[in-house]
Each structure stands twice: as structure tokens, then as C-alpha cells.
Amino acid sequence: MKHGDKANPFGKITEDWHELDGREELSEREELEMDLLLEAIFRIRGYDFRNYLRSSLRRRIRNRMNLDRLPTVTAMLEKTLYEDGYLEKLLEDFSIKVTEMFRDPNFFLAFRKKVVPILREYPSLRIWHAGCATGEEVYSMAILLQEEGLLERTSIYATDMSKEAIVQAKEGKFPLKRMQAYTKNYLQAGGIQEFSAYYSTDHTHAYVLPFMKKHMTFAQHNLATDGSFNEFHVILCRNVLIYFNPTLQTRVHGVLADSLAQDGFLALGNKESFLSVHKARFDEYWQEERIFRKR
Ligand SMILES: C[S@@+](CC[C@H](N)C(=O)[O-])C[C@H]1O[C@@H](n2cnc3c(N)ncnc32)[C@H](O)[C@@H]1O
């Protein structure tokens, strides 16, 4: 079979396996292997990463291959199929849980100044944090609402696809060494108390005060496969959609729009654009901080 033969899209690769050098061919084969891996994960456990950005997934997969000393993605597929617990390990690898309390303080400042005055008019409030990671964003919102006198009438729903993230988020336990940076964020975000009034500590960790948790429900929810589960006045889905391709972003924009009450607010991450057909269902409310309002 000749190189480039239509029946063999990888031409040289199957002929000269040991002399594999063409980068394009290498990535074409790796793409196929990744397709098979993602398809297997979807068929076995229903987690759908097929429309995640390839660049980000590729980095995660290569990182795992290095850690586990695997020569190919196919070797990873084999472990996924036959080794107990391996698939779960990959699921956690694919969940990028980088977060902070009062991350992007200007967002929380804008929320306090521009959104809270409108929320005051509502007798009760439902807020959804979609992709809450380990909970830092959720506790930040609870602190803000407490300071604005709104927490008492608010129910906060916090979801993530990652089981580990949800377990940690429920705990409300954060490394002590991060609290200094979080205090700075809190003050920049318009915080009006001593930040340390919201947590207790031991030698290693800070523990958020339990009064916040009374208003929170944590659950697993997958934006790639699950639908709307309630109607909310505010949804935060920040720094999640950046990992999705346009097809999946469109799906999720639809779920978020369907889950918002009329005039409800949607907050995206500050590097996220909103370019799907669902944009027409929203007005830009505070463009600088990516806050939209449902028409
Ligand atoms: C970078 S964190 C963002 C956390 C927080 N919203 C923030 O801005 O700091 C992204 C989170 O999205 C979650 N995620 C990724 N894909 C998801 C999906 N399909 N459904 C729900 N959560 C998802 C990840 O598990 C991760 O915890």
C-alpha cells in the first residue's frame, strides 16, 4: 500500500511504524486514538468530552501518559477499558478545578453595585453556580449576599461534573496559605468586614462558618449532558465554557437560558465570549464583567 493511499489514511505510519516522523500524520493518528478514548468514556460512563476543546484535552491526556509512562493513547484506552478505577482518574484529570475566592474581584464589585440593588426587590432568590469547582466562588457569593442582607432569603445551588470537587466544596475547607490572597481579593471586591470573620482556622486550613452552608445545595450536574433543573434569578457559569468547542457552548448557553427566569442575570468568565444563537435571548447588562440579562 502506498503512502497516501485512500484506503489507508495513515499511509506511511502503518508501513514504517518505527520511522514515524511526520508530525501531521502523528497528530492525525493521535486524534483518532483520542476519538476512541472519548467515545469509550462516553459509552461506559456517559461523560461526554467529545465536544471539549482538543488542545486542552490533549494536554491533559499527554500529562497522564507521562505520569503513567504510557507509550500511546491506545495504551490509555486499554487501561480505561480494563483497569478498575482508571476511568475515574481520567474524569478528574479532565476537570480543571483552578479557582479562587472572589476570583476577578471586579466582577464581584460590579455584582454588588449593579445587580444586588435589583435583587433586593425579590422576596426570595435562587442562584445557580454551574461549574462551581471546589466551592470558593460559592462561599464568596454567600459572603457578599450576607453583607448585603440577602443571604437569608437566598437558596444557592452549586453543581459540578466532578464528584471530588463537590465533596470538597461541601466541606468549605481551604488551605490556610491561600487566605492572604483571598483577603486581598475580598477587599478589592468591596468587602466591608474583616474577612477572617467568615472562617475559623487550625494550623493548616480555614473552615467557612456553618451559617453559609444552610443556604447551599451541592450536587453533581453535567452541562454537556444534563438539562435544566430549576428556574433561577442568577446563574454564574464562569471559566467553564472556555474548555468547550462552539457546538457544546451553544448547547450550554441554551441550558443556561432555559434555566433563567425572565430578567434573570447570567455571569460568564471574563475571558468568555457569548456568540451562539442564544445571544439574542439576552441583553448585555454589564459588558465589562460579562454580566447578561435575560430578555
Ligand atoms: C476552572 S473551574 C471554574 C470554577 C469557578 N466557576 C471559577 O470561575 O472560579 C471549571 C470547573 O468546571 C467544571 N466542568 C467542566 N466541564 C463541566 C461540565 N460538563 N459540567 C459541569 N461542570 C464542568 C470542572 O469540573 C471545574 O470544576
Q: For the segment 5-46, what is each residue's pLDDT rounded down to a tens digit?
A: 333 333 333 333 333 344 445 588 999 999 999 999 999 999
What is the chain's mean pLDDT, rounded? Answer: 92
Q: Does 249 sit in the ligand 1 pocket, CB within 6 Å?
A: no
Element (H, E) at 141: helix 136-147
Task: Give the residue, by CA position, lying nearest to ligand 1 atom 14.
Answer: 131
Q: Does 103 sit in the ligand 1 pocket, CB within 6 Å?
A: yes
Cβ pair 34, 73 in contact under 8 A? yes
Same domain, 39 and 148: no
Same domain, 240 and 115: yes
Same domain, 65 and 202: no
Overall number of domains in the chain: 2
Range of the domain at 17: 9-94
Nearest-5° Cα angle at 72, 71 to 73: 145
Least reliable range by pLDDT among 5-9, 127-131, 138-142, 197-201? 5-9
Domain boundary among 35, 59, 94: 94
pLDDT of residue 21: 40
Same domain, 90 and 120: no
Residue 31 resides in a domain: yes
pLDDT of residue 9: 38
Residue 99 resides in a domain: no
Same domain, 127 and 184: yes
Q: Does 137 sit in the ligand 1 pocket, CB within 6 Å?
A: yes
Q: Does 168 sit in the ligand 1 pocket, CB within 6 Å?
A: no
Domain boundary among 94, 122, 148: 94
Residue 87 resides in a domain: yes
pLDDT of residue 208: 98
- Which of the listed residues 51, 92, 101, 161 should we mutate to test ligand 1's pocket, taking the one with most ligand atoms within 8 A of CB? 161
Please give the average per-residue pLDDT across 208-214, as a whole number: 97
pLDDT at 202 over 60: yes
- Could you report the per-residue pLDDT of 65-77, keeping only the tens digit for each? 999 999 999 999 9
Residue 3 resides in a domain: no
Same domain, 144 and 262: yes
pLDDT of residue 129: 98
Cβ pair 145, 151 in contact under 8 A? yes
Measure CA 162 to chain center: 9
Same domain, 226 and 132: yes
Residue 50 resides in a domain: yes
- Could you report the per-residue pLDDT of 78-130, keeping only the tens digit for each? 999 999 999 999 999 999 999 999 999 999 999 999 999 999 999 999 999 99
Residue 79 resides in a domain: yes
pLDDT of residue 25: 53
pLDDT of residue 26: 59
Same domain, 57 and 165: no
pLDDT at 261 over 50: yes
Residue 4 resides in a domain: no
Same domain, 88 and 119: no
Same domain, 170 and 246: yes
Same domain, 61 and 119: no
- Which has the closest alpha carbon to 108: 182, 181, 190, 195? 190
Q: Which atom of ligand 1 is nearest to the CA of 248?
A: 19
Residue 191 resides in a domain: yes
CATH number at residue 161: 3.40.50.150
- Which has the closest alpha carbon to 133: 103, 108, 159? 159
Domain boundary among 49, 74, 94: 94
Same domain, 249 and 136: yes
pLDDT of residue 274: 84
Task: Give the residue, by CA position, lying nearest to ligand 1 atom 9.
Answer: 99
Measure CA 163 to chain center: 13
- Which of the listed residues 56, 95, 237 should we mutate to test ligand 1's pocket, taking the one with most ligand atoms within 8 A of CB? 95
pLDDT at 247 over 80: yes
pLDDT at 264 over 90: yes
**Running DSSP on this structure, what letter comes out for residue 19?**
G
Q: Other CB atoms closer than 10 Å to residue 166's CB: what's the count?
A: 21
